[in-house]
Amino acid sequence: MNPVYTALGTTIFEAMSARARATGAINLGQGFPDGRGPEDVLAEAARALIEESNQYPPMMGTAALRQAVADHYRVHQGLDLDASEVIVTSGATEALAAAIFALVSPGDEVVMFQPLYDAYLPLVRRAGGVAKLVRLEPPEWRITAEALAAVASERTRLVLLNSPLNPTGTMIGPDELALLADFCVAHDAIAICDEVWEHVVFDGRQHRSLMAQPGMRERTVKIGSAGKIFSLTGWKVGWLCAAPAISSVLAKAHQFLTFTTPPNLQAAAAFGLGKDIGYFEEMRAGYQRSRDRLAAGLTGLGYRVLPSAATYFLNIDLAASGVDMDDVAFARWLLEEAGVATIPVSAFYAENAVRSVVRLCFAKQDATLHAALERMTRRP
């Protein structure tokens, strides 16, 4: 058996969600909304299922969705992408796997930033890569030149970046983008940019892709997700965008993973990406209201809430809140004693973890957030 996988346990997200189901706890742990998503996008998926082909679509994705992705990024982010540079995948995690398997050779060093999404490390290790971990710290979670210099070597081949960043809810700033671009160019490294939260940003902010930085157009893999854009996380429709020299190799890895993605969901995603800017503004405004509602409630209960600029998540700083427990102990207590599931942020670290921060998902109906706050009036 492969030791990369035999050594792994169940993900913290699945474990906490399973325990929430078993105990009747309110699940603010795993990051999924409890709404239906946009009705017109759902209707397009249903129409395409009945009226269009349900046979294998092209391995690279339908022409309509590939063109829609390129057009969408031209309008929303000013990126000059051609449809031929887009590969449709069965979710962003498959896109990550295809990119890592295509671009990492045994012994290659991959720079990653902790806290990190739990799929990154197993995928890099499965490809034979060597993880070089940069530790980010609250409350700002910023990347510095000193931290990058400490992990750089002649074997640096890739930088794997998540922005906006789950679990912290932060966005990479202009200075950090320039710093990362300079680092990649100096080390002739390719950047894999997991940008699935690119539309879930708040307070008038706008996502900026590393791909748009000088010198990065030909050395960036941009990953997006229809599930996050349309609040339909179960659909598992994603995509990779990269220049031809890279995308041609990514396609070869993708063809031996899922190969294709359901054609009706591709049709619906293509339809959705062409929606008026008003949809995206309304979606962001709705989540921002939920963020503010949960933040105000937690603050009223005496918790110190860290700023959230993006994603579905808020974080509580336990030490600053006067809680004399680490994040795992607090999350366990809150689940078992108060009936609210959260995620300890230390689970997003492979080493030298921050153990004083707990993540909560605010992408819920008002009644769900209100009920969770009522239960959280009990404190350890």
What's the pLDDT score for residue 181?
98
Angle, CA of 134, 137 and 139, to the nearest 5°: 150
DSSP sequence for 285-329: HHHHHHHHHHHHHHHHTT-EEEP--BSSEEEEETGGGT--S-HHH
Q: Could you confirm whether domain 39-275 is CATH 3.20.20.210?
A: no
The predicted model scores a pTM of 0.95
**How many Å apart are CA 333 and CA 349, to the nearest integer?**
21
Q: Contact at 8 Å (CB) between 298 and 305? A: yes
Domain boundaries, the chain: 3-30+278-375, 39-275
Residue 98 has pLDDT above 80, yes or no: yes
Band of the pLDDT at 116, cuts 50, 70, 90? very high
Alpha-carbon distance values, 24 to 17, 18, 372 (Å): 10, 10, 12
| Mean pLDDT (whole number) for 127-150 | 97
Angle, CA of 222, 180 and 60, to the nearest 5°: 15
- 192-248 tens-digit pLDDT: 999 999 999 999 999 999 999 999 999 999 999 999 999 999 999 999 999 999 999
> ω before 115 within 30° of 0 (cis)?
yes
What's the pLDDT score for residue 8?
82
**How many Å apart are CA 70 and CA 78, to the nearest integer?**
10
**How many Å apart are CA 1 and CA 225, to the nearest integer?**
32
Residue 67 has pLDDT above 90, yes or no: yes
Band of the pLDDT at 47, cuts 50, 70, 90? very high
Beta partners for residue 160, in sequence order: 112, 192
Residue 20 has pLDDT above 90, yes or no: no
Q: Contact at 8 Å (CB) between 231 and 75? A: no
CATH of domain 3-30+278-375: 3.90.1150.10
What's the pLDDT score for residue 44?
98
What's the pLDDT score for residue 19?
85
**How many Å apart are CA 41 and CA 67, to the nearest integer?**
17
What's the pLDDT score for residue 17?
82
Residue 18 has pLDDT above 90, yes or no: no
Q: Which residues contact 161 (CB under 8 A, 6 or more apart)?
A: 113, 172, 180, 191, 192, 193, 194, 210
- 235-284 tens-digit pLDDT: 999 999 999 999 999 999 999 999 999 999 999 999 999 999 999 999 99
Residue 93 has pLDDT above 90, yes or no: yes
